Amino acid sequence: MRVLVVTAVRAEADSVVAGLCPDGPVTSHRVPGGHTLRRCAGTGTAVDVLAGGVGPAAAAAATATALTAAASTPGAPPYDLVVSAGIGGGFAGVAPLGAVVVADAMVAADLGAQTPDGHLPVEELGFGRSVHRPAALSERVAEVLGAVHGPVLTVSTVTGTAARAAELTARHPRAAVEAMEGFGVAEAAASHGVPVAEIRAVSNAVGPRDRAAWRVGEALDALRDAFRLLIPVLDEEAR
């Protein structure tokens, strides 16, 4: 089994690599677009980790580039799964600081149109889609990780007010986490016919922007620990 993990920034990718490969060596190689894939040697499942950039557009472009490079490399196996991973904001009462969330839906929460009556998702405009459903193994992953299993919202602008948090909660009452890349990764994976998943660790609460209350280090540690537990699940899936 071959898996591509896409994060936004290097710190998230470092945590993923540390979880996948706490002791073994890490190899790296370049792909078009100036991105570097890192892989842990010695694991049963081949996992490539890529820091693709912030936001859905950058994430989609980086993911598509890596998938295309894999598909066009003679003798290289294709990817069997793409995982969007990183930290994000947790919705009150669903995903507290330090919690891990596995998506049961990957939602483009601000893709659509603003109207006097509120937000219209792109489907109601008659074109496009705003939701991707993750691979069937996501439920099993959530169980093994002891994670919340709920929707992850992708936004282009991070929420910074109570009013915006309330609006998102009203439209997506089961939402667990807000982040910026998952839907973009899912769009690229879908265009290549590859299943997708999303794993997030909660660094802050969705709502008024309060940097002093963020727990980025703790969230990165939780992300590392989640990926340490993930490899046996992937190895089991590959059998």
Q: What is the pLDDT of residues 90-114, one digit of tens each?
A: 999 999 999 999 999 999 999 989 9
Q: What band does 25 get if pLDDT is binned at 50, 70 and 90?
A: confident
CA distance 82 to 21: 18
Q: Is residue 86 within 8 Å of 55, Cβ to Cβ?
A: no
User: With 80 as the cut, is the pLDDT of residue 238 above it?
Assistant: no
The per-residue pLDDT for 42 is 60
Task: Express each pLDDT in 137-192 by its tens digit.
Answer: 999 999 999 999 999 999 999 999 999 999 999 999 999 999 999 999 999 999 99
**Residues 37/46, Cβ–Cβ less than 8 Å:** no
Rama region for 53: left / alpha / beta (φ>0; ψ in -120 to 50; rest): left
The DSSP-derived string for 169-199 is: HHH-TT--EEESSHHHHHHHHHHTT--EEEE
Amino acid in the structure at residue 216: V
Per-residue model confidence (pLDDT) at position 34: 85
pLDDT of residue 137: 93
pLDDT at 24 over 80: no
CATH code for the domain in which residue 52 is found: 3.40.50.1580
CA torsion 83→87→88→90, rounded to 10°?
100
E strand or H helix that includes residue 69:
helix 56-71
**How many domains, the chain?**
1
Task: Give the range of the structural domain holding residue 183, as residue numbers without chain letter.
Answer: 2-238
Contact, 2 vs 78, CB < 8 A?
yes
Percent of the chain with pLDDT over 90: 72
